[in-house]
Structure formats: structure tokens, C-alpha cells
A and B are shown apart, each in its own frame.
Chain A
Amino acid sequence: MRLTSRKQYEEFRVRATRRLEGMRCRVLVCTGSGCLAGGAREVAEAVEEGLRERGLLDGRQGVEGKRTGCHGLCEAGPLVSIEPEGILYTRVTPDDVPEILDRTVLGGEVVERLAYEDPRSKNRVVHYRDIPFYKYQTRIATRNVGRVDPHDLEDAIAHGAYAGAVKALFEMTPEQVIDEVARSGLRGRGGAGFHTGRKWAACRRAPGDVKYVICNGDEGDPGAFKDRAIMEGDPHSVLEGMIIGAYAVGAREGFIYVRDEYPPGVLTSLHAALEAAREAGILGRGIFGTGMEFDIRITRGGGAYVCGESSALMRSIEGKVGEPRAKYIHGTERGLYDRPTVLNNVETWAHVGAILTRGGEWFAGMGTPKSKGTKAFSLSGKVRNAGLIELPMGTPLRHILHDIGGGIRGDRPFKAVQTGGPSGGVIPEALLDLPVDYEQLTEHGSMMGSGGMIVMDDRTCMVDVARYFVRFLNEESCGKCVPCREGLLQMLHLLDGLCEGRGRPGDLDRIERLARGMKWGSLCDLGRSAPNPVLSTLRHFREEYEAHLRDGACPAGVCRALTQYEIVPERCDGCHECVEVCPTAAIAGKPKQRHVIDQEKCIACGECFNVCPVDAIRYGPKARPATASAGATT
């Protein structure tokens, strides 16, 4: 099938849509990484096998089974959804499949026990539209992730893929396309939030007939997965964005730079999409029968976090060492192979097709004055509904945590949310009503970054958090420039000192001064933003730093060198639960008798504290009388 004119595309789309609408029942099995880890492949196989046994596999009875990308609610996977009713089944095992097929697909009834269980009310919620996690989301970049089969171009087109590209190519000049993107207010979703329209315009203006567009799919932030979910679950949205971008700036070649450590699913998905698009005449020479020529290659990442930085990424594509270069000349003028280049994040690209289809104004109608549209987040940490979400800019943090995220796991008190990846910062409870957009996060010492959101409860030490990120960055610094390379090492030494009770008077000043020097002096944004995790925790939790330094105490009971756990004898009822969880077998005691912690063996992991049902365990600074315990719950 080749789509060599606008008419052919439209006709194909109508056919595909009709086919889709003619489907009485579609069983969509999530095969995103989260669900795969939970056994989704076996579920998908059971669905296919079950359909075959029931004579439904050929789709002629209006029933079909599909494997899709991430549905978002990874926490409750493996997920299976039933369309068009919009039923969501959670924690599905292969053994559940016959029941789903017989009762729901054939019988039209709901299998209650598989429906989503509201973590608070414990009620079963059957439909997507009623589940808070989904109800409050607005999905644009992730519009088709989890809804289409990434290996089926027809399915994607039935869901609107390439409508924006066709509109751009047939109805608009490149300048008009850029204007539309500018009007949408779209800003980069991968880091600094640069205006996408302006970036494209600069590249279009730059002299030269060879230009490139690049998709940054490096996503090196630990725990982040939104770009992966898009590339894996809806690769056509990325290709469509890049086609539109290439048309706008006049590029004939594009690159998708994919993180090296990604599971093979991402590459399989992308390759399949590229192949299908080429076969359909959507990539290559004469796209949709126009004179446009454009193709995309996939490049595997260099395996280092810093390779996600724009100049390092371009060097890496060129086959050189992926190290940042000082750039006082923009990539839009001299980028890949020194040619004018547009580099955008996966999510940024995925937005573009929708913006062209529905108009810049529509997109700009969502969000805040300076941050438009929606933003995808990888929600993780101590929140009940961890997963992939997309929300209008300006959504209050409280709403994200409590309504969408379902609150803190174990109903512990909330302490902070860390946003923006390793060089982001924390937002404390006092700022929970903060509307999340670029400006607000930056103003309060954090950043949007690529949309990581790690929720932390009261059992988190902020000095330890800063140390964790500094340690990560210290390992990932390329080491080229002094402030970043040597600065991160010394910052780590200083934080290690605090966490291990070796802090010296004046350390906080030393930390702040070093941070400033790194910020000012470093060559690339890794080093320049590396002090953020320290500065922001220091800004919002200074008293915690002071406790470490002055009292040698870790108020959260996390820093092992500073913390001692003990059992209050009068409270212990000998339930024995702590003994079960202690990783070093440091707790002695027979069931129904009082238990004791052997301080020699205890590593202060706090597991016992977390499980004790009668609050008999308390902690305090090491080698001080237990009565002076800081932050203990007694």
C-alpha cells in the first residue's frame, strides 16, 4: 500500500476508521515495560490463543486482540482494556484471560474482581473515565500510547496519525507551519523549555541547503520513562512530528537518538514504524506524492547520561566521543556535522502532529500564560499510582499527588516531590498548591527538566537525597572541565561528610560557595545545573542539613552512620514482624515476647520501624541517650 496523494491518504484513513468503528470489541493488552515485567507477554499470548480457540482471531466477528504500548497505570499491571466500552482490567494473569473472553468479550458483562480497586475506598471502578488516575489527564503527546498497536500503521492512521503532516504538506508553507507551532506556544519538553517555533525559525533562516532534524530519545534520567513509552507505544507520532519539522526547516535527513540501555522493544517498535512508513510512502522520496524527500535513521546512544546533552549528542551521532562542546554558536546554525540542526525531545516531537491537526490556538488554550499545552510526567516514588501521566501545564501539585497519584503509599506523611531529573530540585509540602509549569518550578528552585516526578515521604532524608543525585552526576560528568569534574567530587565529599557525621563547621558555606562556582564556571548544563539538588534541598530543608552538621543527627532516620534504632520494651507486644523484615537478622526475640535490636548487627535500614504495627520502634542519633532522639514518633 502506497499513499501517493492526499486523496489516497484520506481514503485510507476513512477505511481504517470505518474498520475500527466496526469493531464490536477490542482487547488491548498493555505490553509497555512495566506490564511486561509483570508478565504481560504471557497475557497477550493467552488472549491471542483464546481468541483463536473461540474462532475470533481473524477479526471478522468484530473482535480483535492487540498488543499496545504503556497504558500509564504501570502500578496495577499487567493491564488489559476493552474497547470501545473503555473497561480497564488490572493485575491480569493468563489464567484470567478465558474469563475475560467469555464473560466480557462474548457475554458483554464486567469481571468485577479484575476492575481497578480504588486504593482508598476499596471500591471497584470499571471504566477508565471513572478512574481518577485517568479522569484528570489530558493526553496529547501520549494521545495514542496504549491505544494503538505500534506495529500497525493502519491502526495508527485510524487514530489520526499523519493527519497533521498531510495538512502541513498540502495546505501550508513551511513558514506557516513554523507560525502555527509558534502560536501553540510549544516549548521543549526535554530540558530547558526553549520555544520550539523559535528554534525551528532560526534553523530555517540559517544559510545552507543541508539541514538536519534530530529526536532526542536518550532519556538518561534515572527512573524516567515517558519518552520510552512514546517511542515504544506510538512511534508514528514521533515520525509525524519529525516529518513536519523537516518540512518546516528544509531537512532531508533525520535521526532518532535512542538510549543505549533501552530494552529491545523500543527499537523494534521504531524500526517497524519506519519500515511501515517507508512502504506507505510516508518517508523516503516523494512523501505522500509531494516533492518532499525525507528519511530517518536510528542511532544508538553512547551509553552515558551526558550524551543526552545537545552538543554531546550530535558529536555522538557523528561517531565521535559523546562529550559536550562549548557552544557559543547555536545548533540551529551549526549543529550536526556543523550544519543547521533542530534537536527536539521525543515528547516535543510527539506534540507536533496534534498541534498541526487541531491548530496552535487549541494547544495554547491549555496551560498557563507562559507554559502552554500539556506535559507528560513519569510519576514515581512513594505514590500509590506510579506511572505515566500527561496533564495541562499549571496543574497543582496537590492534585497530581493526591487525586491522580492516589496519595502517598502507606498513608505516610508527604515530605517533598523531586522534579526535573538528577539536576532538578525538591518542592516541599508548603508549596503543594504550586501550579506546575516551567516558571513556577524554576522560581522555587527546581525545574521541569524532562518531567520526572519522584514523590518522597517523611522517611526520606534530604541530605541523602542530594547526595544520591550528586553521586549520580559525579559518575556521569564527562570530566572535561574543572568546576564540574572536580566540583562534583568535592561536593560529594562534603555531603558524605554530613551523612557520616564528619561535617565540619562552615560546611554549609563551603557547599554554597562551591555550588555557585560550579554554576557559573561549568562548560555545559550538566555542570551548571549539578548543584541544583543540593541548593534546592538546602533552600527548603536547611534545618535538616543543620541537624546533620550540628547534632550529628539524621531527623529522617536514614543516614546509617548517624542513626540508631531501638525497641521500646513496654510497647513491644512480640508480634515478630520486625524479625521477618530485618535484612541482617539483628533482632532477637521469641513471638509474644519482647524483642531487642543487636546494635552491632543493625545497619539502620529502618525496615523494622516501617512495619511495626504498635510503634514500638524508635530511632535517634547514634551514641546519644535514647531520650534525646530526634524525630522519633514516641
Chain B
Amino acid sequence: MPTVTIDGRRVTVREGAYVLEAARLAGARIPALCHHEAVEPIGACRLCVVDIWKPGWDADSFRLVASCLYPVEEGLVVHTATPRVMETRRVALDLLLARCPETPLVRDLAREYGIEETTYRKRENPDDCILCGLCTRICDKVGPAAISTQSRGVLREVAPPFFEAPPDCIGCGACAEVCPTGHIKVTEDGFTRTIWGKTFEMLRCPSCGRAYLTRAQAEWMAGRGMPVEPLCDSCKRRRTAEVAASLGRPR
């Protein structure tokens, strides 16, 4: 297990970890808007930049990298708040604020870095998407890969193929769950769930009666031989607790 130095503190992390994980372990505060444990990092928001130094480099030679996908290695020295790091974050946040001037998450983070109003020209008719790509990555990971990013540059956006209701979407809601800004809208009325312009029939939890899973997802999972959870999450938790209690000591 490699030992690395974060802002002067030595920490030992698991093999294969990225610098962000090590830095957080060491107590550093690093913004990371496109990062999520459940999916592979892509380094899109660039807020998690840090300065690194490797054994063998010239003493004053540092490199700015995205900590969310820079793999740790023995002897790595990391500085999480050098002037260059802070300035890079400030410019990126300032830019994000121009893109999403009304988005609370962005506003709050920008304020933390001393930015109340963006220096740049605000986007007209802004939405809350920061293009972190978490939704598409989680959807790929769940399996359907129903949505993707389309177009390039500033025209880039997350969308289903051909901008129509995504044929492959199973309504699992994972994308909305993971979206840091709440840009993806899900509505439920107890019988159906609507997401990406597509409406799904809900299955009910046999224990509490709550709508907890779309039929499409249950069928999709069954079709792939995945076990479909028969209970909703809270009933499942309660059931587990009861079992644990009956066994005596919860573990």
C-alpha cells in the first residue's frame, strides 16, 4: 500500500486508489463535481486539480493534475491548495457560474472561492446541467446506456439518442439520483414515474405497498438473470434489522 504526502501529512492508501481519495483521507477539502465513487473518473470539471511532485523530479518541478484520476504511487507528494491550484479552480468555477448562474450548487461553491458574480458573460436561458457526465456514466454502469453526450464544445449536452424519449431507458432513476444539480427531472404519481419524457408503470412493494421499481427495470433485470429485489429499500432494511435483532448482536 503506497504512502503519499498530502499537504505535509503522510497517509497510506489502498493500491489503485486515486489521489483524490488519499487527499480526502488526509483531511484535504477538494471540490470534485464530476466525481462519484460508483463510476470511473473522467476528469471533466477540473476542480479537483492539485500540484504533485514525484521522487526523481527536480525539487521545484511540480505538475498540475486532476486528483480524481491520478493514480497514487509510493512517495508522491501532493499540494492541494497552492496559488496555482486555487487560481485554476477559481477560473473553472467562474466559468461554470457563467454557464449555470442560477444553480445553487455552483453558486455556493463559487462563493467559497470568493466569487459572487461571474466575470464572464452569462449563458442565455441557462439550465442546471454542468456536463459532469455522471448521469451517462451511471447509466452505462447500470447497463442500458440509454443516454449519452451529444455534439461537441459548448453545444454539448446530455440527451437520449435523436433527442427523443430514450428507447433503452428502463426508468431506474439512477441518473437523476446521481445528478449533483438536480437537472434531471423525475416525477412520480404513485402509479407511474416519468423521466426523460418517458412514462413507466411502477411495481409496488408487497410489504408496504409503495411504488418502488418500474416494471421495465424489473423485466430488464429478469431478462439478464439479475435478482430482482422483492422489497423496497426501506422494507428491505427493516427486514434485515429484524433478522439481525433475532440473531442477537447486529453486525
Contact = CB atoms under 8 A, between A and B. Distances in A.
Contact of A483 (B92, B119, B130, B153): B92
- Among B92, B99, B119: residue with most chain A CB under 10 A: B92
Interface in B76-92: 84, 87-88, 90-92
A476 B153 contact: yes
A220 B133 CA distance: 27
Interface stretch (B22-30, B38-46, B190-198, B231-239): B38-46
Interface stretch (B62-70, B204-212, B221-229): B62-70
B120 A490 contact: yes
B44 A523 contact: yes
B91 A514 contact: yes
Contact of A482 (B46, B69, B87, B149): B46
Contacts of A522: 46
B251 interface: no
A486 B95 contact: yes
B165 to A, nearest CB: 22
Interface of B: 42-47, 49, 64-66, 69-71, 84, 87-88, 90-92, 95-96, 98-99, 119-121, 130-131, 133, 149, 151-156
Interface in A454-510: 474-483, 485-490, 493, 510
Contact of B66 (A485, A487, A493, A523): A523
B44 A513 contact: no
Interface string A512-523: 011011101111
A480 B42 CA distance: 9
7 contacts: A326-B69, A475-B152, A479-B149, A482-B44, A482-B92, A489-B154, A510-B119
Contacts of B91: 483, 487, 513-514, 516-518, 521
Interface residues of A, number: 33
Interface of A: 304, 306, 325-326, 328-329, 474-483, 485-490, 493, 510, 513-514, 516-518, 520-523
B192 to A, nearest CB: 33
A328 B44 contact: no
A479 B43 CA distance: 12
Contacts of A329: 71
Most B CB contacts (10 A, CB to CB) among A474, A510, A521 go to A521
Given A483-B95, A487-B95, A522-B46, A477 B153 contact: yes
Given A490-B95, A514-B91, A478 B153 contact: yes
Given A478-B153, A479-B151, A520 B45 contact: no
Contacts of B64: 520-521
Contacts of A520: 49, 64, 84, 87-88
Contact of B152 (A326, A476, A521): A476
Given A513-B91, A517-B92, A520-B87, A481 B154 contact: no
A328 B64 CA distance: 11
Contacts of A514: 91, 120
Contacts of B98: 486, 490
A485 B44 CA distance: 10
A479 B87 contact: no
A306 B99 CA distance: 23
Contact of A521 (B46, B99, B130): B46
A601 B219 CA distance: 67
A490 B118 CA distance: 11
Given A483-B91, A490-B121, A517-B92, 9 more contacts: A304-B152, A328-B69, A475-B153, A479-B152, A483-B46, A487-B95, A490-B95, A520-B64, A521-B49
Contacts of B69: 326, 328
Given A326-B66, A520-B88, A523-B43, A479 B95 contact: no
Given A483-B95, A516-B87, A474 B120 contact: no
A485 B87 CA distance: 18
Contacts of B95: 482-483, 486-487, 490, 517
B70 A328 contact: yes
A513 B119 CA distance: 11
Contacts of A490: 95, 98, 120-121
A233 to B, nearest CB: 32
Contacts of A493: 120-121
B43 A481 contact: yes
B153 A482 contact: no
A157 B84 CA distance: 55
A486 B71 CA distance: 27
A326 B48 CA distance: 13
B133 A480 contact: yes
Nearest to B151: A479
A115 B44 CA distance: 57
B133 to A, nearest CB: 7
- Which of A304, A479, A480, A482 has the largest number of chain B CB atoms within 10 A? A482
Contacts of B99: 486
A483 B90 CA distance: 11
B46 A481 contact: yes
A490 B151 CA distance: 19
A321 to B, nearest CB: 8
Nearest to A328: B70
Contacts of B149: 479-480
A486 B154 contact: yes
A-B interface, 10 closest residue pairs, ranked by CB to CB distance from nearest: A517-B91, A479-B156, A486-B95, A326-B43, A490-B120, A521-B88, A521-B46, A477-B153, A520-B88, A479-B153
Contact of A480 (B44, B88, B119): B44
B49 A474 contact: no
A49 to B, nearest CB: 48
Contact of A474 (B44, B45, B92, B154): B154
A487 B91 CA distance: 9
A486 B42 CA distance: 17
B88 A485 contact: no
A521 B131 CA distance: 16
A520 B62 CA distance: 12
A517 B153 contact: no
Contacts of B66: 326, 523
A217 to B, nearest CB: 21
B51 to A, nearest CB: 10
Given A483-B46, A493-B121, A477 B87 contact: no
B91 to A, nearest CB: 3
